[in-house]
Amino acid sequence: MQVLIVGGGINGLMSARLLRAAGCEVTLLERGDTGREASWAGGGIVSPLYPWRYAPAVTALAQMARQAYPRLVGELLAETGIDAELEQCGMLMLDATDAAEALSWAAAHGEDMQRRAQDRLRAELPGLAPHWRQGLWMPAIANVRNPRLLKALREAVVQAGVRVVTGAEVTGAEVTGAEVVGDSGRVTALKAADGRCFEAEQVVVCGGAWSRGLLQALGVTAPPPVRPVRGQMLLYRLPPGRLPCIVLAEGRYVIPRRDGHVLCGSTLEECGFDKSVTETALLSLHASALRLLPELSDQEPLAQWAGLRPGSPDGTPYIGRVGNLENLWINAGQFRNGLVLAPASARLLTDLMTGGTPCTDPSPYQWREED
Ligand SMILES: Cc1cc2nc3c(=O)[nH]c(=O)nc-3n(C[C@H](O)[C@H](O)[C@H](O)COP(=O)(O)OP(=O)(O)OC[C@H]3O[C@@H](n4cnc5c(N)ncnc54)[C@H](O)[C@@H]3O)c2cc1C
Tens place of pLDDT per residue across the chain (371 aa): 999 999 999 999 999 999 999 999 999 999 999 999 999 999 999 999 999 999 999 999 999 999 999 999 999 999 999 999 999 999 999 999 999 999 999 999 999 999 999 999 999 999 999 999 999 999 999 999 999 999 999 999 999 999 999 999 999 999 998 666 556 799 999 999 999 999 999 999 999 999 999 999 999 999 999 999 999 999 999 999 999 999 999 999 999 999 999 999 999 999 999 999 999 999 999 999 999 999 999 899 999 999 999 999 999 999 999 988 999 999 999 999 999 999 999 999 999 999 999 999 999 999 987 55
Q: Please enumerate in sequence order all residues whose Cβ is within 8 A of that of 297, keeping only pairs 6 or more positions apart, or say none.
A: 290
Pocket test for ligand 1, best of 232, 337, 340 (most atoms within 8 A of CB): 337
Strand order in the sheet with 252-256: 114-117, 134-138, 91-94, 246-249, 252-256, 261-265, 227-237, 303-311
pLDDT value for 184: 76
**Domains of the chain by residue range:** 2-74+147-226+313-365, 90-140+227-311
Per-residue pLDDT, 60: 98
How far is it, in rounded angstroms, from Cα 266 to Cα 306? 9
List residues near ligand 1 (CB under 6 A): 6-12, 29-32, 36-39, 41-45, 169-170, 206-210, 214, 231, 233, 265-266, 307, 309-310, 332, 334-340
Asked if the domains at 2-74+147-226+313-365 and 90-140+227-311 fall in one CATH topology, the answer is: no
> What pLDDT score was predicted for residue 178?
67
Integer Cα distance of 134 and 125 in angstroms:
12
Nearest CA to ligand 1 atom 50: 42
* Predicted pLDDT at 350: 98
- Sheet strands (E) in the chain: 2-6, 25-30, 91-94, 114-117, 134-138, 163-166, 170-176, 186-192, 197-199, 202-205, 227-237, 246-249, 252-256, 261-265, 303-311, 318-321, 328-332
Give the torsion through C-alpha atoms of 32, 221, 335, 108, to 10 deg.
Answer: -140
Give the pLDDT score at 179.
65
Could you tell which of 165, 309, 316 is best to mutate to test the pocket of ligand 1, judged by most ligand atoms within 8 Å of the CB?
A: 309
Ligand 1 pocket: which of 149, 334, 341 to mutate (most atoms <8 Å of CB)?
Answer: 334
CATH 3.30.9.10 fits 90-140+227-311, yes or no: yes
CATH entry 3.50.50.60 includes domain 2-74+147-226+313-365: yes
